[in-house]
Amino acid sequence: MRLPLTATLALAVAASLAAASSTEHARLTAMAGTWDVDVTFWFQPGRPGVPTKGTSTIRPLFDGSFIEEKIEGTLNGAPYTTLAWTGYNTDAKRYEATRIASTNSMRIVESGGYDEKTQTFELKADYSLAGDTWHQRTVITQTSPDAMAAASYLSFGNVPEWKAVEIKYTRRH
């Protein structure tokens, strides 16, 4: 049985995209697992950080096309949860993430790339908050199979960028 030319081309394109994106998706699935996290929040520039501990659970979705992360912890005595879905968009050739948290009503949508030399993801987002446009830059580095670090930097208006969140991950065994 012969496939029509359009079906053959579609299969060839799909196979090409799958092969091209396998490295990008493998970077994400390498993060899958359960992690102990040490989190520090800086709610304003120049103020002391607020440390807390929690658990991050990262799991692959849709055969590794995406990962889902759930962080659970306690901040100032109150429980919080954040959820994030991250994938590699093979058409746009970039990583894309959506983040939500129990601490606010915003959805943050980031996108960016991966630097082979530094083995670092860098994702950026712009969103409205309190009448301003906020800029967020998230940097994620997996320093070993059992350790990872993520930091989010914020700025808005005339306020220069500051580190607002730092997460240090240690894989549970």
CATH topology of domain 5-171: Lipocalin (2.40.128)
Per-residue confidence of the chain (173 residues) as pLDDT tens digits?
A: 454 555 544 555 555 444 446 899 999 999 999 999 999 999 999 999 999 999 999 999 998 999 999 999 999 899 999 999 999 999 999 999 999 999 888 899 999 999 999 999 999 999 998 899 999 999 999 999 999 999 999 999 999 999 999 999 999 98
Whole-structure pTM value = 0.86
pLDDT of residue 173: 86
pLDDT in tens, 69-81: 999 999 989 999 9
User: What would the 3-class secondary structure string for the chain be?
Assistant: CCCCHHHHHHHHHHHHHHHHHHHHHHHHHCCCEEEEEEEEECCCCCCCCEEEEEEEEEEEECCCCEEEEEEEEEECCEEEEEEEEEEEECCCCEEEEEEEECCCCCEEEEEEEEECCCCEEEEEEEEEECCEEEEEEEEEEEEECCEEEEEEEEEECCEEEEEEEEEEEEECC
